[in-house]
Structure 1
Amino acid sequence: MKSPSNIMRQSSLTKLGSMINTAVNKRAGNGDIQWCFSQVKGTLEDDVTEADIISCVEFNHDGDLLATGDKGGRVVIFQRDPISKNSIPRRGEYNVYSTFQSHEPEFDYLKSLEIEEKINKIRWLKRKNPAHFLLSTNDKTIKLWKVSERDKRVEGYNTKEENGAIRDPACITALRVPTIKPMELMVEASPRRIFANAHTYHINSISVNSDQETYLSADDLRINLWHLEITDQSFNIVDIKPTNMEELTEVITAAEFHPAECNVLVYSSSKGTIRLCDMRSAALCDQHSKLFEEPEDPTNRSFFSEIISSISDVKLSNSGRYMISRDYLSVKVWDLQMETKPIECYPVHEYLRSKLCSLYENDCIFDKFECCWSGNDSSIMTGSYNNFFRVFDRTTKRDLTLEAARDIAKPKTLLKPRKVCTGGKRKKDEISVDCLDFNKKILHTAWHPSENVVAVAATNNLFLFQDKL
């Protein structure tokens, strides 16, 4: 079965017939932010196996844990180093806390379809007890994982030996009182729930509701609502599948719950629209409450307009008042009270507009870049090519292009702002747009919920940067 995304891509094929970056990013009232290198995780080697490529990055709610998923189905959790957290000034340093295999490759015999083990998304649940819980998903199956610590063991069982072997009851001549002994700290990850068989197409999003009891999962054409305690039943709350698949005009690209209102969710489409749905209005949210769409500029109309207007990611702000959407060339900020147009628009790599034909030929035009908010909603971060990532300050309207490169992998090394030259004479610190490496791309980024610490996934490496106070 062809996925709707591929159908859309084929339909795009049938229709086929300069930026200046400033060097300073200011934080309101706090002077200039200068970003410096903190850490890099992973081997800095040229030979990269497909399984090691990072496919998602996510901080938990207090920022003490950072999880990554990769194309090999593994989840690696990093824990904030206590010394770096409490030092003055604070440092954003993380150590490996737990590694486990979340998903394995599968085969759907009914559809003769291979199901990749690649982790598409990770979402943390808010902590309610000493253990941590997170959701991870591949294309078809969502799993709820419990990550817990054990530093004590029980000794002195009556019915079994210390190695676990069952004792012969005839040999038990006295009763022993089991004792609890300290042991080396062990971090255990165990699957608590498996949510499967609910999606015909590939899952692209999961989002935990603010009630911490339900969550949504979205594929190309449908969004399902789950209860965290119920694995064999979900409610279909959005269904945009047409009766005749030949009439398909758009697919769902991302979906997310509102951070405070448990009845509100948003989802974006490949047509460049965002729909806000209220689950109180109807059980099936096919009729949206609000539609966010920017009218197309006729002067920029081209064969690629439909492809580059597709929204690859949407994120609601921490306050719940705004949301950001990422299309191929820009990041837009929307006010939930105003549907007609975005209140802010930040070009990410406008210099690529003249390269769209070659980007179409090498399939880069279909890359799905993510975006994220800073903890106080004052800044936005998203990725680009050549291992560049972009930081936009909403207060000062300044922007910054930085590079996650191995030659800066020394602690406290200041990041030099990068500039891309589009033609003519190239200055000393500039890089020509023709020299950009399109195989090196920053698709996944995450911002610490309360500090200026960012995590950037560059192929198989996880770079951590922080502000230099």
Structure 2
Amino acid sequence: MNGGGEGLAAPATSGAAVSPLEWKFSQVFGERTAGEEVQEVDIISAIEFDRTGEHLATGDRGGRVVLFERTDIKDHGGHRRDLERMDYSISRHPEFRYKTEFQSHEPEFDYLKSLEIEEKINKIRWCQTANGALFLLSTNDKTIKYWKVQEKKIKKVCEMNVDASKSMENGAVASSMSASSKPYLANGACKDRPVSSPSNDTSFPALHLPVVTSQETSLVARCRRVYAHAHDYHINSISNNSDGETFISADDLRINLWNLEISNQSFNIVDVKPANMEDLTEVITSAEFHPTHCNTLAYSSSKGSIRLIDLRQSALCDTHSKLFEEQEAPGSRSFFTEIIASISDIKFAKNGRHILSRDYMTLKLWDINMDSGPVATFQVHEHLRPKLCDLYENDSIFDKFECCLSGDGHRVATGSYSNLFRVFGCSEGSTEATTLEASKNPMRRQVQTPARPSRSLGNLPRVLRRGADNSGADANGNSFDFTTKLLHLAWHPSENSIACAASNSLYMYYA
């Protein structure tokens, strides 16, 4: 695959260049056997690590949420606080195991609009844990749900109300009682004779109260709240606030602010719907809260711009506090310009200083203190530029690839076709640009880009601008498979570990 990183006005992170990582396969869940047909409902549509990295959640098109928990920390007696104090560069082998799953959403039908609502999970976001229970938000196109997952003790009756030592007598008494037509009281005594004490009458055993014990535990997922009927269009994003009390949900034209405890009311904080829908020029594609500033959030648009808004300015944030967009080069406009400029995903860096955005062709890293342009641009699909007509015809050009950043801010990653994903170094002087395949041999199709191309596409060599030829293969001889695409991936919050979805399989890698 052609393309590397493109260094611009300022480095993404300061300090010495970081050496490229060597990625290794860790584990896979739900891997397909050769020739196995994948059911549509089993295709993974969302991935999210919790903030500790000890749990991982996936959602699929069948409306299910599957939870995984980390096991290697417990196995080696480690603790999360100990891991946080360890050096980030130390290579560890994270291992996860299946924890539980639950049905989050069911297919619905909106009778007012004659519209089918899919059960597909669009996004999952972890909330703060409490009392050993896990909390998370999941959403489909219309409805957000707040889930609590905790261990419940299974209660069983361990002693019956019959004395085991007199079981033979009990059987005889029971048979004689069933054969008799005389009415008996609840304690087994007959109305026609006085109640006798068990110690004086051996025909009736001593009565025992049943004893309930809790020995086994089972994970139970319970829906705590349902946030519905607040979006006219499909929900594309949900994001938790750092205050632990509120979250946002975004559709094509509006962003709503919710309180976790209130499900029947939300506040519309962004509304880009014009008075006349014929005047609509752009839609909201993604939105996320700042990781530490509870009053700041960012949202991206189909025109390739990112707006930073401050909730303290006004109740309805129609005006942004900062606008991040890159000016297109003169003479470069084409029919596909706006389509490939649309941002499919944005993520804040852990420190809140940078925003990573993914459009169809590139990854861009933005400094929120510098709105003149991105501080780094990474070419992901430049080799597909000659094929934009074909990609438009088969709708692949509208695929929405996600992006993620490492916890230390040194690297970024995103997916591509043929189940490939790419990892770029974004620290100063880094030339790291690694391509991996979602398989047990991720380095099979590795490509190291020796140097970053120059800033302007117009200055690139003619061969690089042309990208791949029309033979259906890239510069390395690898054929493109547009039916297999790696759209969803997540980076562990504190380690060099990536989880990514290839169809119905969850692959995990570490470096």
TM exceeding 0.5: yes
What one-letter code is carried by the residue in structure 2 that aligns with 1:432?
G
What one-letter code is carried by the residue in structure 1 that aligns with 2:488?
H
Which residue, out of 351, 354, 358, partners 1:326?
A: 358
Which segments of 5 or more consecutive residues in structure 2 lack a partner in the other structure? 6-14, 78-89, 162-184, 189-205, 450-463
How far does the alpha carbon of each residue in 1:21-66 deviate from its partner, in whole angstroms, 9 at most, with x for none? 69xxxx9677541101111111314411111111010001111111
SS in 1 for 2:264: coil
TM-fit CA distance, 1:303:
1.2
**Cα gap change, 1:55 to 1:429, in 2 (>3 Å):** closer
SS in 1 for 2:281: coil
State the structure with more CA Rg.
Answer: 2
**Cα gap change, 1:196 to 1:20, in 2 (>3 Å):** closer
Contact 2:72 2:94 in 1 (8 A): no
Which residue, out of 175, 182, 190, partners 2:215?
A: 182
Contact 2:2 2:475 in 1 (8 A): no
Q: How does 1:249-260 map to 2 (within 5 A)?
A: 249-260=281-292
TM-fit CA distance, 1:86:
3.2
Contact 1:294 1:340 in 2 (8 A): yes
Q: Within the alignment, does 1:55 sit opposite 2:88 as a pair? A: no
Distance 2:312 2:426 in 1: 33
Which segments of 5 or more consecutive residues in structure 1 lack a partner in the other structure? 1-17, 160-168
Q: What residue in structure 2 maps to residue 432 of structure 1?
A: 477
What one-letter code is carried by the residue in structure 2 that aligns with 1:403?
E
Q: Within the alignment, does 1:204 sit opposite 2:236 as a pair? A: yes
How far does the alpha carbon of each residue in 1:159-216 deviate from its partner, in whole angstroms, 9 at most, with x for none? 9xxxxxxxxx955998959664321x31111101111011000000000000010000
**Cα gap change, 1:314 to 1:20, in 2 (>3 Å):** closer
Which residue, out of 353, 362, 371, partners 2:403?
A: 371
Distance 1:405 1:315 in 2: 26
Which residue, out of 134, 137, 150, partners 2:136?
A: 134
Q: What residue in structure 2 maps to residue 72 of structure 1?
A: 62
What one-letter code is carried by the residue in structure 2 that aligns with 1:104?
E
Normalised to the residue count of structure 2, the TM-score between the two structures is 0.78
Distance 2:426 2:443 in 1: 22
Contact 1:271 1:311 in 2 (8 A): yes
What one-letter code is carried by the residue in structure 2 that aligns with 1:365?
I
Aligned pair count reads 429
**Cα gap change, 1:388 to 1:414, in 2 (>3 Å):** closer
Distance 2:372 2:405 in 1: 22
Contact 2:269 2:315 in 1 (8 A): yes
**Cα gap change, 1:432 to 1:21, in 2 (>3 Å):** farther
Which residue, out of 370, 376, 382, partners 1:338?
A: 370
Between 38-47 and 169-178, report the one with greater CA deviation. 169-178
Distance 1:123 1:89 in 2: 27
TM-fit CA distance, 1:82:
3.3
Distance 2:374 2:501 in 1: 28
What one-letter code is carried by the residue in structure 1 that aligns with 2:70?
R
How far does the alpha carbon of each residue in 1:142-165 deviate from its partner, in whole angstroms, 9 at most, with x for none? 000101013463658999xxxxxx
Which residue, out of 429, 433, 452, partners 1:399?
A: 433
Q: Within the alignment, does 1:271 sit opposite 2:303 as a pair? A: yes
Distance 1:50 1:134 in 2: 24
Q: What residue in structure 2 maps to residue 417 of structure 1?
A: 446
Which residue, out of 442, 446, 452, partners 2:486?
A: 442
What one-letter code is carried by the residue in structure 1 that aligns with 2:293?
E
Between 82-91 and 250-259, report the one with greater CA deviation. 82-91
Ranked by relative contact order (alpha carbons within 8 Å, sequence separation 6 or more), the top structure is: 2
Distance 1:312 1:429 in 2: 24
Q: What residue in structure 1 maps to residue 117 of structure 2?
A: 115
Distance 2:27 2:98 in 1: 12
Distance 2:114 2:233 in 1: 14
Distance 2:404 2:18 in 1: 21
Distance 1:56 1:85 in 2: 28
Q: What residue in structure 2 maps to residue 466 of structure 1?
A: 510
Question: Which has more strand, going by share of residues?
Answer: 1
TM-fit CA distance, 1:418:
4.0
**Cα gap change, 1:233 to 1:385, in 2 (>3 Å):** same
Q: What residue in structure 2 maps to residue 166 of structure 1?
A: none
Contact 1:55 1:71 in 2 (8 A): yes
Distance 1:283 1:249 in 2: 24
Q: Within the alignment, does 1:19 sit opposite 2:19 as a pair? A: no
Contact 1:67 1:78 in 2 (8 A): yes
Normalised to the residue count of structure 1, the TM-score between the two structures is 0.85
Distance 1:116 1:32 in 2: 41
**Cα gap change, 1:335 to 1:419, in 2 (>3 Å):** closer
